[in-house]
């Protein structure tokens, strides 16, 4: 009798865990559906690119379009404000007047810092969802983008209240290469 109760209790625990996991996965799928339906999103991003010698911090206004492109206009630090980068799956363009920015590539050449808005948006819109669960009151979704040696892992924390992205981390080969704090998120 005790064994049957233990098995029943374990089954209930597993089912309860699956329900929470399903709610987290549903939040990721809802973001994906809303993003694809709207055709894109805009947000402000505070980015920390992590290099072996030092971290580089910058902020910008970002826009992602589900038809294949993203744009970021830097706002901080003031010395590089106004530089705009547009990125598509086929290439990138950086425009500026008399200021240049020298951010080296990350993730062994698999990620350019100015391409981060494209990587985030394209992950939310269609990359493989490896896992989803709840963590510290947020929904934690893990996306995998690319394959083999070029694969990036994009961890994104969604607000439990509205399902909007609040924080993201991009990891390559087990090493965090960038973290992004998002604000003012809106669907286009």
Domains of the chain plus CATH, in order, are 2-187 (2.50.20)
What is the distance between the alpha carbons of residues 151 and 110, in angstroms, rounded to a whole number? 8
Given a cut of 80, whether residue 148 has pLDDT beyond it is yes
pLDDT at 106: 57
pTM as predicted = 0.82
Q: Give residue for tokens 């992205």.
A: 165
> Tens of pLDDT along 1-47?
444 433 333 333 333 344 444 899 999 999 999 999 999 999 999 99
């Amino acid at each position: 009798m005790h064994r049957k109760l233990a098995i029943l209790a374990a089954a209930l625990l597993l089912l309860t865990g699956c329900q929470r996991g399903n709610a987290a996965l549903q939040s990721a799928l809802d973001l994906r559906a809303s993003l694809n339906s709207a055709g894109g999103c805009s947000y402000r991003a505070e980015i920390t690119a992590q290099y072996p010698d030092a971290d580089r911090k910058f902020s910008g206004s970002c826009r992602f379009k589900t038809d294949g492109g993203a744009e970021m206009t830097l706002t901080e630090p003031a010395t590089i404000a106004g530089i705009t980068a547009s990125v598509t799956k086929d290439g990138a363009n950086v425009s500026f007047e008399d200021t240049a920015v020298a951010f080296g590539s990350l993730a062994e050449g698999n990620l350019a810092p100015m391409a981060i808005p494209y990587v985030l948006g394209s992950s939310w819109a269609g990359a493989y969802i490896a896992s989803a669960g709840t963590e510290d009151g947020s929904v934690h979704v893990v996306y995998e983008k690319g394959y083999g040696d070029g694969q990036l892992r994009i961890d994104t924390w969604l607000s439990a209240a509205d399902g909007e992205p609040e924080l993201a981390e991009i990891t390559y080969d087990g090493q965090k290469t960038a973290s992004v704090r998002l604000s003012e998120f809106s669907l286009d």
